[in-house]
Chains A and B, each alone.
Chain A
Amino acid sequence: MVYVDRVETMNLLGLILQGLLFTNMRDPQKARRIAGVKGDVLIRADRMRVTLRLRDGDVWILRGEAGPPDAHVHGSLSALLHVALGRGLFAPALRGDLSAGGRIGMLLRLLPLLRVDDGG
Chain B
Amino acid sequence: MAAERTARSLLSRLEDLVGPERVISDPAALAEVGRDRTENPARMPAAAVRLRTTEEVAALLALADELRIPVTARVAGTNIGGLAIPADGGIVLDLSEMNRVIELNHPNMYALIEPGVTWAQLKQHLFDHGDDLVIGYPLAPPDTSVAAGCLMDGLSTLTLRWGPMGEWINGLEVVLAGGQVVRTGAGAVSDTWFSRAPLPDLTGLFLNWFGTTGIVTKLAVQLWPKPAVRRRMFVPCARREAAFAAMRALAPTQLYDDVGGLSWVPSKKAFGVLSPGPRDPDEPEFYLYIDISGGERREFRLKIQLLEERLAGLRKLGHGFSDPIDMADLVRLNPVFKKFAELPTRLDFLLDHGGGGLSWVGTYGPIERLDQAASLGIAVMEAHGFPPSIVSRPMRGGHFAVLRFIELFDRRSPVETERVVRVNHELCDVLLDQGFVPYKCPPWAVPKVMAKMDPGMAALMRRVKDLLDPHGILNPGKWGF
Q: What is A's interface to B at a CB cutoff of 8 Å?
A: 7-13, 15-16, 18-20, 46-49, 63-64, 76-78, 81, 84-85, 116, 118, 120
Cβ-defined partner of A15 (8 Å) among B238, B268, B279, B329: B268
Give Cα A26–Cα B275 distance, bound, in whole angstroms: 27
B-side contacts of A48, CB under 8 Å: 280, 282-283
Q: How far is the CB of A91 from chain B (nearest CB, A)?
A: 14
Nearest 8 pairs between A and B by C-beta? Answer: A19-B334, A11-B283, A11-B280, A78-B323, A47-B282, A15-B271, A77-B322, A48-B283
> Which residues in window 267-312 of B have CB below 8 A to A?
267-268, 271, 273-280, 282-284
Cβ-based interface call for B332 (8 A): yes
Give Cα A48–Cα B220 distance, bound, in whole angstroms: 48
Specify the chain A residue showing the minimal Cβ separation from B278.
A9
Q: How far is the CB of B481 from chain A (nearest CB, A)?
A: 44
Specify the chain B residue showing the minimal Cβ separation from A47.
B282
Q: How far is the CB of A68 from chain B (nearest CB, A)?
A: 19
Cβ-based interface call for B199 (8 A): no
Cβ-based interface call for B3 (8 A): no
Give Cα A13–Cα B280 distance, bound, in whole angstroms: 11
Cβ-based interface call for B333 (8 A): yes
Q: Is the pair A78, B325 in contact by a Cβ cutoff of 8 Å?
A: yes
Q: What would 6 more interface pairs be, CB under 8 Å, given A15-B271, A19-B333, A118-B332? A: A8-B274, A11-B283, A47-B238, A48-B282, A77-B322, A78-B323
Cβ-based interface call for B266 (8 A): no
Q: Is the pair A16, B333 in contact by a Cβ cutoff of 8 Å?
A: yes
Specify the chain B residue showing the minimal Cβ separation from A117.
B332
Q: How far is the CB of A30 from chain B (nearest CB, A)?
A: 15
Specify the chain B residue showing the minimal Cβ separation from A79.
B323
Q: Is the pair A78, B322 in contact by a Cβ cutoff of 8 Å?
A: yes
Mark interface residues in B252-274 (1 if CB within 8 Å of A CB, else 0): 00000000000010011001011
Give Cα A16–Cα B329 distance, bound, in whole angstroms: 12
Give Cα A78–Cα B311 distance, bound, in whole angstroms: 15
Q: Is the pair A81, B271 in contact by a Cβ cutoff of 8 Å?
A: no
Q: Is the pair B325, A8 in contact by a Cβ cutoff of 8 Å?
A: no
Selected A-B contacts with CB under 8 Å, 6 pairs: A9-B276, A9-B280, A12-B267, A15-B271, A19-B335, A116-B333
Given contacts A77-B325, A81-B325, contact A11 B282 (CB under 8 A): yes
Give Cα A19–Cα B283 distance, bound, in whole angstroms: 18
A-side contacts of B268, CB under 8 Å: 12, 15
Q: What is B's interface to A at a CB cutoff of 8 Å?
A: 236, 238, 264, 267-268, 271, 273-280, 282-284, 322-323, 325, 329-330, 332-336
Give Cα A84–Cα B325 distance, bound, in whole angstroms: 13
B-side contacts of A116, CB under 8 Å: 332-333
Specify the chain A residue showing the minimal Cβ separation from B322.
A77
Q: Is the pair B336, A8 in contact by a Cβ cutoff of 8 Å?
A: no
Cβ-defined partner of A77 (8 Å) among B267, B277, B278, B323: B323
Q: How far is the CB of A62 from chain B (nearest CB, A)?
A: 12
A-side contacts of B336, CB under 8 Å: 15, 19
Q: Is the pair B280, A63 in contact by a Cβ cutoff of 8 Å?
A: yes
Given contacts A64-B280, A77-B236, A85-B329, contact A16 B323 (CB under 8 A): no
Give Cα A52–Cα B371 distance, bound, in whole angstroms: 36
Specify the chain B residue showing the minimal Cβ separation from A82.
B329
B-side contacts of A47, CB under 8 Å: 238, 282-283
Q: Is the pair A8, B335 in contact by a Cβ cutoff of 8 Å?
A: no
* Interface core residue of B273, B279, B283 (most chain A CB under 10 Å): B283
A-side contacts of B322, CB under 8 Å: 46, 76-78
Give Cα A47–Cα B238 distance, bound, in whole angstroms: 9
Q: How far is the CB of A27 from chain B (nearest CB, A)?
A: 16
Given contacts A77-B236, A78-B322, contact A16 B334 (CB under 8 A): yes
A-side contacts of B284, CB under 8 Å: 12
Q: How far is the CB of B243 from chain A (nearest CB, A)?
A: 14
Specify the chain B residue showing the minimal Cβ separation from A63.
B280
Q: Is the pair A7, B283 in contact by a Cβ cutoff of 8 Å?
A: no
Give Cα A116–Cα B331 distance, bound, in whole angstroms: 11
A-side contacts of B329, CB under 8 Å: 81, 85
* Interface core residue of A12, A77, A84 (most chain B CB under 10 Å): A12
